[in-house]
Chains A and B, each alone.
Chain A
Amino acid sequence: MPDPLWALAIGAGLALLLAGLFWPERGLWPRWRRTRELTERVLTEDALKHIHKWEMKGRRPTVESLAGALQVPRDRVAQLLANMEQLGLLTSQGGDLHLTAAGRDAALHIIRAHRLWERYLADQTGYDEADWHGQAERLEHTLPPAEVDALAARLGHPTHDPHGDPIPDSAGRFVAHGGQPLTALPPDTPAQIVHIEDEPEVVYAQLVAEGLYPGMAVRLIELTPQRVRFWANGDEHVLAPLLAANISVVPKPAEAEGKQAVKAAPPAIPLSALRLGEQAEVVGISPRCRGPERRRFMDLGILPGTVVTAELVSPSGDPTAYRIRDALIALRKEQADLIHVAPRPAPAASPNGDRPTVGQEPRPEEAEAPSSP
């Protein structure tokens, strides 16, 4: 019989060894894979992307900016640029870096792969927003054009990535969002966020934390050199102008879709804030809710204008069942958070907080006519 202590020790050792090898991110195996991925090709492609991006922004990409973006020493960048010039991807005249047509095509392919993959992660997988960029950064280098096209087809040829950036089509064509910085918007003009710049990541993280997403309706209240004050989907936000400049908006014509303009007006609360027996009208689904979940909501009839009533709460506290177009549908709190509603005049104030008394709840049908005594 093996000594139990020894057996335990060997068992523990084995477990540690396996963990050390395969632990996600920090294990030896994932690390080895990462270093293998950082090849010449990856660096070249990242450099193309960087130069293209800066050109689009009207800035001059330099060896310094490249060294910063790629996180490699400057002499390595110089060597890389020499190689790229030889490959006919770029020209450098007196320190000015310019992409050739081939270089631009290559850059657009990488950008297309990157944005498609982000779209895929956002729409068809359960990965968190924080994971998208990193994964796409890795996969953009490994997807061959045929697979990128197949992915685009599978996703229904999406036109924009989840940040609002346009996805070039297979011929490299795209239509820019055409937005202007929020800071350039005249006050009190209804507008819509079309893009949020995802670099630098620190700024992007702040904007996401503010709860700002492409598709949101915004209205500038006040613009001073110190701060930008604006409404976004019924909430007031205050940002430093530097941050606000990373938000692109397009003014939204209020006349044609008067309906929409009105809808932006009523103060919206999340559906989860509705108390039992209370009724509300859906104002919209948060842009944070994407892909199949968003479509599922719509299929269930959760659309602007739909009247919902909170009817039951699970005894364990969480899912709440809402009466939506005559069906009783349970939604978790995180889901209900994504649905913005405008409370309707309560048929009768819910008397005892959260729990209804059996048989005394006002019925939603009666609630149509507010007959408060």
Chain B
Amino acid sequence: MSSQTDGPTVTALDQLTTADDGFTVTVEPLPAAAAGCAACPVHSVHNAANLRKLGIDMTDWDFVVALAGNPNVGKSTVFNALTGLRQHTGNWPGKTVTRAEGGFEYGGHRYKLVDLPGTYSLLATSLDEEVARDFILFGQPDVTVVVVDATRLERNLNLVLQVLEITDRVVVALNLMDEARRHRLQIDHRRLARDLGVPVVPTEARRGKGLPELLQAISDVATGRIVTRPHRIKNEPPALKQAIATLTRQIEAAFPGLPNARWVALRLLDGDERIAEAVRLGELGDLSRGSAEERSQSVQSLSAKPEPVP
């Protein structure tokens, strides 16, 4: 994870995706029996203490899954389909103003699903964005599902890339595939998965299509069966790159094992007071400790599991 951020600076973008991101995690559904392994040790990574502060009680739940996405991409439909709840979904940008919660059980584990407000970005310009950002950063959900509108991929990837800066544990739900077909778009989701470094599952949430695969992908990432290799943005102007690298190095020195030191640097350079406060109060330290444990745990558990080819 951290090797991604302080690796050699590659300037040629083509090189980046072929060599650096030569990762091969595609969603290969495991036999149902293997998935239903209730006896397996649950090695969740979420930050239960922070989640409680954010108003999420994790007693009786194994994993917490955050649902993020642009407004109006059928995020609430995915939420309803996964939880069986009936939250209203409107054809409006930004419908989920308050955070909705639900849950589901899969493969012997209990997952709590939290629907975050629909946002275009996570750079915290609005309250919605702050809510979503804080949840992903401080709550450290076991999986963050980013619902993406297949017909407007470019616009939606903006958010995906930002989420990938904060957390590695991401599954992209490529929703509205039916509309993409109607618009005669062909989307190579395998290629997308390769470029992004995380599982990408095509879905049609309105018709329930693709949901079993989505559940499987969520479970794979949550239980550590899949280890992701998230894409990180590397094409900033040189002047920025220099500043970001300098600051990232310091942050990594102060908080070893922090999974998103680079992102924290990005935010500090933008004058983000919430993040500065987290640095000052040592909240970031909590996050890095949690992640250090997580790493040792997943290494242990991975040795017993089919390991993805690096």
With A257-B237, A325-B154, A326-B152 as contacts: A295 and B125 at CB distance below 8 Å: yes
CA distance A101 to B218 in the complex (A): 62
Is A300 in the interface zone, CB < 8 Å from B? yes
A292-342 CB contacts (< 8 Å) to partner B: 292, 295-296, 298-301, 325-327
Contact residues in B for A156 (Cβ distance below 8 Å):
270-273
- Which residues of chain A have C-beta atoms less than 8 A from B270's C-beta? 156
Does residue B276 face the partner (Cβ distance < 8 Å to A)? yes
B158 touches A301 (CB 8 A): yes
Q: How far is the CA of A292 from the CA of B124 in the complex (A)?
A: 10
Task: Give the one of B121, B153, B272 with max A CB within 10 A.
Answer: B121
Instruction: State whether the Cβ of A173 lies closer than 8 Å to any Cβ in chain B.
Output: no
User: How far, in whole Å, are A81 and B158 apart by their CA atoms in the complex?
Assistant: 58
**With A256-B238, A292-B125 known to touch, is A326 a contact of B154 (CB < 8 Å)?**
yes
User: Do residues A155 and B271 form an inter-chain contact, with CB atoms below 8 A?
Assistant: yes
Contact call A296/B125, Cβ cutoff below 8 A? yes
Q: A292-B125, A296-B125, A299-B125 are in contact. Are A154 and B273 (CB under 8 A)?
A: yes
Interface flag for B151 (CB, 8 Å): yes
Which B residues are in CB contact (< 8 Å) with A301? 154-155, 158
Does B271 lie within 8 Å of A158, measured CB to CB?
yes
Could you tell me which residues of chain B, from 244 to 298, have a CB within 8 Å of some CB in chain A?
A: 270-273, 276-277
Interface centre among B153, B155, B238, B239 (most CB of A within 10 A): B155
A76 at the interface (CB under 8 A from B): no
Cβ-defined partner of B155 (8 Å) among A292, A296, A298, A327: A327
A246–B135 alpha-carbon span in the complex (Å): 47
Chain A proximity of B116: nearest CB distance (Å): 16
Q: Which residues on B sit within 8 Å (CB–CB) of A256? A: 238-239
Given that A256-B238, A257-B237, A326-B151 are known contacts, is A299 also in contact with B273, CB under 8 Å in the complex?
A: no
- B165-192 interface with A by 8 A CB criterion: none
Q: How far is the CB of A331 from chain B (nearest CB, A)?
A: 14
Interface size in chain B (residues, C-beta < 8 A): 20
Q: Which listed residue (B120, B154, B276, B277) contacts A299, Cβ 8 A?
A: B120
**A5 near B: Cβ within 8 Å?**
no
Known: A256-B238, A257-B237. Contact between A325 and B273, CB under 8 A? no
Q: How far is the CA of A95 from the CA of B276 in the complex (A)?
A: 47
Contact assessment for B154 and A153 in the assembled complex, using a CB-CB cutoff below 8 Å? no
Smallest beta-carbon distance B49→chain A, Å: 25
In the complex, the answer to whether A325 meets B152 with C-beta atoms within 8 Å is yes
- A327 / chain B contacts, CB cutoff of 8 Å: 152, 155
Interface residues as binary, A118-159 with B (CB distance below 8 Å gives 1, 0 otherwise): 000000000000000000000000000000000001111110
A346 to B277, CA, bound (A): 50
Asked if B126 is at the interface (CB within 8 A of a chain A CB), the reply is: yes
Contact among B123, B238, B271, B276 for A295, CB-based, below 8 A? B123
Q: What chain A residues lie within 8 Å of B237 (beta carbons)?
A: 257
| Nearest B-chain residue to A256, judged by Cβ | B238
Across-interface contacts of A299 in B (CB, < 8 A): 120-121, 123, 125, 158
A55 to B127, CA, bound (A): 43
Cα A235 to Cα B186 in complex, Å, equals 43
B70 → A minimal CB distance (Å): 9
Q: Which residues of A contact B277 (CB under 8 A)?
A: 153
Measured between C-beta atoms, what is the minimum distance from A167 to chain B in Å? 11
B107 to chain A, nearest CB (A): 36
Which A residues are in CB contact (< 8 Å) with B151?
326
**Contact between A157 and B158 (Cβ–Cβ < 8 Å)?**
no
CB distance from B130 to the nearest CB of A (A): 12
* Centre residue among A158, A256, A257, A301 by max chain B CB count within 10 A: A301
Question: In the complex, A326 Cα to B232 Cα: how many Å?
Answer: 24
> Given A299-B121, A299-B125, A300-B120, A153–B155 Cβ distance below 8 Å?
no
> What residue in chain A is nearest B159 (Cβ atoms)?
A299
CA separation between A312 and B278, bound complex, in Å?
Answer: 45
- A44–B49 CA distance with the chains assembled, in angstroms: 51
- Which 9 pairs between the two chains have the least Cβ-Cβ distance? A156-B271, A326-B152, A299-B120, A299-B121, A295-B125, A325-B155, A153-B273, A157-B271, A325-B154
Seed contacts A153-B277, A301-B155, A326-B155; 8 additional CB < 8 Å A-B pairs? A156-B270, A156-B272, A256-B238, A299-B125, A325-B152, A325-B154, A326-B152, A327-B155
Interface residues of B (CB under 8 A from A): 120-121, 123, 125-126, 151-155, 158, 237-239, 270-273, 276-277
Chain A residues packing against B (C-beta within 8 Å): 153-158, 256-257, 292, 295-296, 298-301, 325-327
